[in-house]
Amino acid sequence: MTEQKKKIVVIGMGYVGIPMAALLADVPNFYVIGIQRKSERSGWKIDWLNAGKNPFKGEEPGLDELIEKVVRNKKFHVTDKYDNLDDAEYVLIDVQTPIDLYTKVPRYESLIEVSEKTARHMKKGVTIIIESTVAPGTTDNIIQPLLEDVSGLKRKKDFYLVFSFERVMPGKLIEYITDFPRVIGGGCYEANQKAKYLYGKVVKKELQVTDTLTAELTKCIENSYRDVNIAFANEMALLCEDFNRDIYKIIELINYRHDRMMHYPGSGVGGHCLTKDPYLLLYGHEAYSEKNYKSHIKLVPFSRELNDFMPVHMVSLMEEALQEARKLVDNIKVTLMGVSYKANTDDTRNTPAQGIIETLMKRYHSHNIVYIAHDPYVKERDYDLTVLTDDFNKAVENSDVLLFATNHKQYYNIDLDALKEAMRTPIIIDGRNIFNKNLVEEKGFIYRKVGEGPKNHSF
């Protein structure tokens, strides 16, 4: 028996919404409408996607072909009109849920706005799935009352509401949807079954059903766990610098044990999730937990603080190197190598590069520093902190220091002789373990790396 056509609406055409919409649109009898706000910053995506083009400039295996296919087959269309929800059977909400940089409180403006617009158009029997990460307790305490009040419908009786978080990562957007387990947190058996039906069409791994709050906690704790592990690696990197030893060699020795997998340090933690989800966890604990004993919650906030410190440490390493070169932090050209937070992608959200530049500008605001950034993937519309170029030679010419914040693959094959010739002062600050210390110093560079002391040593 042939399945009936199903209309699915995905709200938010970003790193989560686009690959999910494209995958669902490739399912027989599924027809997907993407909704994207027509803002100056991101409204261009509507025409771009409707032309069958992938808006991401980083390496995303399979996504170009998939978008082109589903648009060509008239299975996927993008608009800014919410009346498309009137007859939708599923609505997926994939908008950003950032935190305030100063108060660390969630900013739910976009989530609340699209939830209100959804409520005005939702029909009886619709299943609404929140894929955006939220503080534990948000779905039940904010989204459900809002949907019910505006629509006049009741959850579990007239519509279904599910929290099922994304696990995407730039560079592996499709893989992380299809090849990772999916946690489904509905409010009732019927909601879970409807979500299982939908995700079962694209997810190859287990569909794990739980309650809404447990699903919200799972997402926030999962990313907080990774953030804490990176913070430990960063702290050990700072310790190893003091011992004048290389943390990467030590991690290699540790990870020879089959039951150990220590994380790597670096110039900082970026992206939309790891920099935010620990604060969502802490906020949800304070706002919605039953006991709320804050005094014993120490590791998560300290880890965030330490990881946010690493871009500042990159500046300190630069200052040490300039001192060794007997050069003042004045009338110099500083080149930032890589402004996306992750290698070989164009995602600049919460990039460590921002912390580096902001620290420098605050510390040396009247020192006549020329700033330029190089990135082979990022476009100017997504980065406005300094001049940006994809021209490597322009970026390094007459530069006094190169700060490698991102380990793009292009950076591993640099001609060091030509680089030294092009620079005014040959200083490299390595935040991603790209270079071999002995090699770059033999070529005449002053070199500093996160996690390795300044002196040469051998054994």
Catalytic residue check, 273: yes
Residue of 273, 276, 333, 342 with catalytic role: 273
* Strands in 21-169 per DSSP E: 30-35, 76-79, 90-93, 127-130, 160-163
Q: For the chain, how are helix, strand and coil distributed in percent, rounded to 5?
A: 40, 15, 45
Q: Are 199 and 182 in contact (CB under 8 A)?
A: yes
Name the β-bridge partners of 162. 129, 186
d(CA 86, CA 200) in angstroms, rounded, equals 24
d(CA 429, CA 448) in angstroms, rounded, equals 5
d(CA 307, CA 231) in angstroms, rounded, equals 6
Side-chain-side CA neighbours of 145 within 13 Å: the count stands at 5
Catalytic residue check, 240: no
- Beta strands at 182-186 and 160-163: parallel, antiparallel or unpaired: antiparallel
Q: What is the 3-state secondary structure (H, E, C) of 191-230?
A: HHHHHHHHHCCCCCCCEEEECHHHHHHHHHHHHHHHHHHH
Question: Hey, what amino acid is at 427?
Answer: I
d(CA 182, CA 129) in angstroms, rounded, equals 13
Q: How far is CA 170 from CA 112, 308, 311, 388, 415, in A?
A: 26, 21, 21, 21, 28
* Strands in 353-416 per DSSP E: 370-374, 387-389, 401-404
Dihedral of CA atoms 261, 262, 264, 268 in degrees, nearest 10, equals 120
- Between vectors from CA 296 to CA 216 and to CA 309, what angle results, nearest 5°? 80
Residue 143: DSSP 8-state: I
**H or E stretch at 383:** none
Q: What are phi and psi of 419, to 5 degrees?
A: -65, -45
Question: Hey, what amino acid is at 201?
Answer: K
d(CA 311, CA 385) in angstroms, rounded, equals 15
Q: Name which of 314, 338, 315 is nearest 266 in CA terms.
A: 314
d(CA 334, CA 323) in angstroms, rounded, equals 15
| Residues that are catalytic | 219, 273
